[in-house]
Amino acid sequence: MNLDLSEIIKGDPEKPRRVYLRDEVTVDSVFPVIESIFTMADEGPEDITLFINSHGGEVFSAFELIDCIRTVKCKVNTVCSGVAYSCASLILSAGTGLRFASKNSRIMVHQCSLSVQDFKNIEEMKTLNSELKFSNNKVFSLLEEYTKGKISLKNKNYFNKDRFLNADEAKELGIVDLVY
């Protein structure tokens, strides 16, 4: 594809259809992004472009944003301009239009994790472990869908450790379509 990012995000300069995720992924940080996407989608069918520069965060907040991206009728292009680590890489891969990474960007994929402070006793540890397995399987089943099988539940052990990727490697794995 010889598409230029500037061609994709052209539009009415009075009403740019761009939104930015530039913080840790939390309930609070994704709310204005979701609100903007729904508002723009209500205004018309033109593509929306989501720029991402995030170290990741809460996986269920990422799921909420992904559900929004996947629900609106217009296409949502995703662009990594900086970093897309952890669940931010999942959001990047979830774009319904074109998915871009700048040539200097970094993308990181890994399995879900919890911190030691999340465990208060053995019973809670069992419950949280079960939830962690559910979340991890959900992340990798979504990645399998979005990368057309290049990342999957079958090869999730490769991602036991943080896997830092440059833009070309992210393209090879199907996380993005184009490097600009």
Q: Catalytic residues, which ones? A: 86, 110
Cβ neighbours of residue 110 closer than 8 Å, sequence gap 6 or more: 86, 159, 160, 161, 162, 163
Helix or strand or coil: residue 117? helix
Extract the tokens encoding 86.
């952890």
Cβ neighbours of residue 69 closer than 8 Å, sequence gap 6 or more: 37, 50, 76, 78, 91, 94, 95, 96
122 to 13, 49, 97, 133, 142: CA distances (angstroms): 56, 44, 44, 16, 30
Extract the tokens encoding 65.
């944003």
